[in-house]
Amino acid sequence: MTISEKYNKLITGVISGFVLPFLVALTVFIFAKGDPGLFEWLRRITDADIITHIISLCVFPNLVLFLLFNRFDMLRASQGVLGVTIFWAILVFLVKILR
């Protein structure tokens, strides 16, 4: 069993589609100007009304992950990433509507 066969599961795509945006958000937080605390940073992006921009920025690397899974013919995993990305898009839409 090859690695691509082993990890070609829907749950692999779902987990990686959720974890990668949080890692990107952590990276953005670490490099935020002024060295704020987590809650201060969240308050600043909420006050500046850029929360949807930050979420979209964090979800963008899912495209790369989707294309990698697709390139290695891991179609079940790419379906999971696509499903989670659609969830993130709906979340951005709801935040934009409710704000």
Q: Report how far apart, in Å, the C-alpha atoms of 84 and of each of 47, 48, 60 are.
A: 27, 26, 12
- At 3 the pLDDT is 79
- At 25 the pLDDT is 93
- At 4 the pLDDT is 80
- At 32 the pLDDT is 85
pLDDT tens sequence for the chain (99 residues): 787 888 899 999 999 999 999 999 999 998 888 878 889 989 999 999 999 999 999 999 999 999 999 999 999 999 999 999 999 999 999 999 997
Domain boundaries, the chain: 3-98
